[in-house]
């Protein structure tokens, strides 16, 4: 498994957060109330602000559901690969990095090291030397 494949879960989570933010933005826009600040007469128009955004929101929620399914499948796949690694510290490093999304500094702290270079170097060496987790070609 390459570094790129290991990073897919993080990227999928980012995409899901973007969809969630967009849904919240549309919901907020659809339900916001604006005050009339001038005394000029307004042309009477019929518009359903909420209804206009409803279809967009529903579409985005469907897209989010698909993304969440992708995230779950990727999470399971990644956990299976990591679980097959013999070195328990390497399993921890990979899980903290690619499943939890921690920084190298936080990973170092979590595994009892003070230098963030330790887990990063161990990670890079593992990817370079492992046949299953080979370097990206």
State residue 118's pLDDT score: 96
Is the Cβ–Cβ distance between 15 and 21 less than 8 Å?
Answer: no
Instruction: Print pLDDT tens along the chain (137 aa).
Output: 788 889 999 999 999 999 999 999 998 887 775 555 566 566 554 456 667 788 899 999 999 999 999 999 999 999 999 999 999 999 999 999 999 999 999 999 999 999 999 999 999 999 998 865 544 43
Domain spans, the chain: 1-32+48-84, 87-137
pTM, two decimals, is 0.74
Helix (H) or strand (E) holding 70: helix 49-83
In 10 A of CB 107, how many CB atoms?
A: 23
Do 91 and 85 form a contact (C-beta atoms < 8 A)? yes
Q: Output the pLDDT for position 137.
A: 39
Residues 51 and 31: their CA atoms lie apart, in Å, by: 10
- For residue 46, the model assigns a pLDDT of 42
């Amino acid at each position: 498994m390459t570094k790129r494949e290991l990073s897919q879960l993080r990227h999928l989570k980012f995409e899901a957060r973007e969809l969630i933010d967009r849904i919240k933005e549309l919901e907020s826009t659809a339900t916001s109330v604006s005050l009339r600040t001038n005394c000029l007469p307004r042309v009477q128009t019929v518009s359903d602000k909420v209804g206009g955004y409803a279809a967009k929101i529903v579409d985005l929620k469907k897209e989010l559901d698909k993304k969440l399914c992708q995230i779950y499948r990727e999470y399971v796949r990644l956990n299976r690969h990591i679980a097959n690694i013999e070195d328990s510290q390497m399993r921890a490093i990979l899980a903290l990095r690619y499943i939890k999304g921690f920084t190298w500094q936080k990973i170092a702290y979590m595994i009892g090291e003070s230098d963030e270079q330790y887990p990063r170097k161990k990670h890079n060496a593992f990817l370079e030397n492992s046949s299953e987790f080979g370097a990206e070609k």
